[in-house]
Structure 1
Amino acid sequence: MHHRQKLILAASCFLGACSTLPTSGPTGAQIEAAAVKGGANIDIVTVDDAVALPPAPKLGQWSLPELDPPPSDMVGPGDVISIYIYEAGVPLFGGASIVEAGGDGFDPSVKAQTLPPSRVDDNGDIVLPYAGKLHVVGKTLFEVQGIIQDSLRGFSQDPQVLVTLKEVVNNSIIIGGEVDKPGRLVLQTNQERLSDVLALAGGYRGSAKDLSLRLRRGSRVAELRLSDVLQNPEADVFAYPGDRLTLLQDPWLFSVLGASGRVQQIPFTRSTMSLAEAVAAAGGPNNNYGDPGAIFVFRYEKTEAGEAKPVVYHFNMMRTSTYFLAQKFALHNNDVLYFGSAGANQPSKLIQLISQLFAPIVTVTNAANAFNNN
């Protein structure tokens, strides 16, 4: 058989097998057909005007109730308090006089006594000589002074009491994770917000957009992106005694599939990212077999009932107006960016395949013809 006849026969065989050539994924028409006929209950949204754009995501809000912080000098379990007692006349606790202690101008009959530090137990009680067990939890230092003073009136002549906090446990929080100084942090006032706490802990490590702030308050736990807390004053709530804060590495990602030339997960370059930026980061559709008119974003959208519904957004980048819409389309965490295969890419693949397979035969044939002519 002549070489030319062999080439024609081989080409015919490959043309018959054209539909079986490998692709990088379904075409745009195949995706839409599968969504409509596949019974998967998937919504296809063609983004061809501003009305079709989904609402821009709002900055995150805590799902925890914001509590008004208690007074910063409120006594709680674990706190250690120092108690100073001043007595006139015959002292109950003994001690040096104010004059002896260097207090010029005071009655020399007044005696001052410092009691051993008292730790508030788990039940919120302290025990003092003569006074016995006193319940002080949830009281301010001024109120604790009054409780101790009243308990000693029958034993001492007009005792005066001064109470200070020696060690603070109750009015503190625990912070850990990606901070410079993890550990227990005492709230010096009742005005520290979450951003203040992070600053007092030496600041955070890494980028705010890649960090998640987990807040445990009582039995409830909530989580929010750190960038949302820093950008949204309403999310920068007051720290509350007993809070547990943890900064976690949790970068937002989107996946790239289809005819892009590469399959990968790409982290967000900043806290908010548009589709136009995502397409650029992914390298766009492949020139050889990608279809610019078939760019899709796969996502789960929450319904009013709170259920997750699959939605596919279709962008035709062959239209100039779509480039402006892509700049306003905000990407979500875990979105899938898919570049559809070109419906007409099969013949080009066939031509490339034939060229690769039969190039040696064509070369030999040309050489033989040249030899015969000579």
Structure 2
Amino acid sequence: MLLRKCLSLVLLAGLAGCATLPSSGPTGGQIRKSATAPIQGAPIEIVDVGQLADIPALPGVALPASVLPQFTPTPTDMVGPGDVLDISIYEAGVALFATGQSAGQQGQLTTPGVQVQRLPPTRVDDAGDIVIPYVGKVHASGRTTGEIQTAIRKSMQRLSQNPQVLVTLNQAITNSIIIGGEVARPGRLVLQTNRESLSDVIALAGGYRGSSKDLMVRVVRGDVTADIRVNDIVENPALDVRIRPGDRLMLVDDPRTYSVLGASGRVEQESFRRSSVSLAEAIATAGGANPNVGDPAAIFLFRYVHTADGKEIPRVYHINMLHSSAFFLAQKFLMQDKDVLYFGNAAANQPSKMIQLISSLFSPIVTVTSAATVLK
């Protein structure tokens, strides 16, 4: 008898210590109450998705062509600071750069035929100038190789008899971009046509590494930055922006994810398997509402949205999967990066949890009582 009283006291103490029953989260009613009448902060809007008009449209994505500064395509042989030029000077008759042995008028050397003098590789300095022997400085930045040839030739006309000049690019710095990150060959890439698109330069760099759905390209042009997902370029050719000399590209591994919480088949963070994932696919991937504790009528999606004035506010979307129309709506509702999909607990399951808890507490008493009876 004394043993039973002791065990009863232990049982009462255990029940008194249970302020709340075990739960994976709030019920649908508790979410609505806490959102519309929060203890702190402003109320949160809850949208009941019951028809197509309630499904939020995807946020408008600004096309890179409208974000990045646009310039007229420059010639492929445009020269700028840092470029290295190969310069060859051809002379006939009285040659300024000839290496022959016979002397002509004013000490110039004369040799039969045409003489060619190849100058050492000449780098364009920070001021955009190059230095030619006997001529001096010649401005090269912003000019094509043909225009530089003409400028050198004109400067030599008073020094040589009908000189001819050939200028070619040895190292192109101005007409190049920098590409790095998840590509096979990161580094400096020279644009051969100045009409290469984003997909072109990725291919010229050896292609991307990893999964295209997880890769994002960051294009930096001057002080402006545009982020483009590799997978989206295939589905929307307008995102395949044309690349300009001086651009900097970085491919980064940035997978889009959403979180699954509450009374679902499993709680986890899930990655987007394709460019777009519907709410129906997300629910199926999560295993649906747990049949023991979940409520299919209380499925919520938590998301930050941007208002017309650019502010970011929280919003909750509710869908009742007990209605047949919800299965069609869930196919049109598209998930977004960093969404939180929550499966509410069923309020009707709370009494069963209480019974299970009491049963687990009484089981030791029944076992001890049975053992004591057997001993008697």
Does residue 54 (structure 1) correspond to residue 56 (structure 2)? The answer is yes
In structure 1, the partner of 2:113 is 109
Residue of structure 1 aligned with 2:136, choices 132, 148, 164: 132
TM-score by length of 1: 0.88
Please give the secondary structure, in 1, of the residue aligned with 2:95: coil
In structure 2, the partner of 1:253 is 257
Does residue 186 (structure 1) correspond to residue 186 (structure 2)? The answer is no
In structure 1, the partner of 2:105 is none
In structure 1, runs of 5+ residues without a counterpart are 97-106
Does residue 196 (structure 1) correspond to residue 165 (structure 2)? The answer is no
In structure 2, runs of 5+ residues without a counterpart are 101-110
In structure 1, the partner of 2:22 is 22
Cα deviation for residue 9 of structure 1 reads 11
Structure 2: which amino acid aligns with 1:208?
S
Cα deviation for residue 20 of structure 1 reads 2.3
Deviation per CA, 1:330-349, whole angstroms, max 9, x where unpaired? 10100011111111121010
In structure 1, the partner of 2:325 is 321
- Taking structure 1 as reference, are residues 8 and 346 closer, same or farther at Cα in structure 2, changes over 3 Å only? farther
In structure 1, the partner of 2:45 is 43
Aligned residue-pair number: 362
8 Å CA contact 2:69, 2:221 repeated in 1: no
Cα deviation for residue 360 of structure 1 reads 4.6
Please give the secondary structure, in 1, of the residue aligned with 2:150: helix
- Taking structure 1 as reference, are residues 275 and 189 closer, same or farther at Cα in structure 2, changes over 3 Å only? same
Give the Cα–Cα distance (whole angstroms) in 1 for the partners of residues 332 and 4 of structure 2. Answer: 56
Residue of structure 1 aligned with 2:77, choices 73, 78, 89: 73
In structure 2, the partner of 1:120 is 124
> Quick one: percent identity of the two aligned structures?
58
- Taking structure 1 as reference, are residues 18 and 115 closer, same or farther at Cα in structure 2, changes over 3 Å only? closer
Residue of structure 1 aligned with 2:273, choices 269, 273, 276: 269
Residue of structure 1 aligned with 2:161, choices 152, 157, 182: 157
In structure 2, the partner of 1:305 is 309
8 Å CA contact 1:86, 1:113 repeated in 2: yes
8 Å CA contact 1:59, 1:228 repeated in 2: no
Deviation per CA, 1:101-124, whole angstroms, max 9, x where unpaired? xxxxxx963322222221111111
Give the Cα–Cα distance (whole angstroms) in 1 for the partners of residues 321 and 172 of structure 2. Answer: 61
In structure 1, the partner of 2:226 is 222
Cα deviation for residue 359 of structure 1 reads 3.3
Residue of structure 1 aligned with 2:210, choices 206, 209, 220: 206
Residue of structure 2 aligned with 1:330, choices 304, 313, 334: 334
Give the Cα–Cα distance (whole angstroms) in 2 for the partners of residues 354 and 24 of structure 1. Answer: 19
RMSD between superposed Cα atoms in Å: 2.9
Give the Cα–Cα distance (whole angstroms) in 1 for the partners of residues 30 and 303 of structure 2. Answer: 18
Please give the secondary structure, in 2, of the residue aligned with 1:112: strand
Please give the secondary structure, in 1, of the residue aligned with 2:206: coil
Please give the secondary structure, in 1, of the residue aligned with 2:217: strand
In structure 2, the partner of 1:32 is 32
In structure 1, the partner of 2:108 is none
In structure 2, the partner of 1:99 is none
Cα deviation for residue 233 of structure 1 reads 1.5
Please give the secondary structure, in 1, of the residue aligned with 2:137: strand
Please give the secondary structure, in 1, of the residue aligned with 2:356: helix
Give the Cα–Cα distance (whole angstroms) in 2 for the partners of residues 147 and 276 of structure 1. Answer: 68
Structure 2: which amino acid aligns with 1:317?
M
Structure 2: which amino acid aligns with 1:343?
A
Give the Cα–Cα distance (whole angstroms) in 2 for the partners of residues 68 and 231 of structure 1. Answer: 27
Give the Cα–Cα distance (whole angstroms) in 1 for the partners of residues 332 and 7 of structure 2. Answer: 52
Give the Cα–Cα distance (whole angstroms) in 2 for the partners of residues 116 and 368 of structure 1. Answer: 107
Does residue 341 (structure 1) correspond to residue 345 (structure 2)? The answer is yes
8 Å CA contact 1:60, 1:225 repeated in 2: no
In structure 1, the partner of 2:283 is 279
Give the Cα–Cα distance (whole angstroms) in 1 for the partners of residues 194 and 267 of structure 2. Answer: 50
TM-score by length of 2: 0.87
Cα deviation for residue 133 of structure 1 reads 0.6
Please give the secondary structure, in 2, of the residue aligned with 1:90: strand
8 Å CA contact 1:48, 1:322 repeated in 2: yes
Give the Cα–Cα distance (whole angstroms) in 2 for the partners of residues 2 and 320 of structure 1. Answer: 59
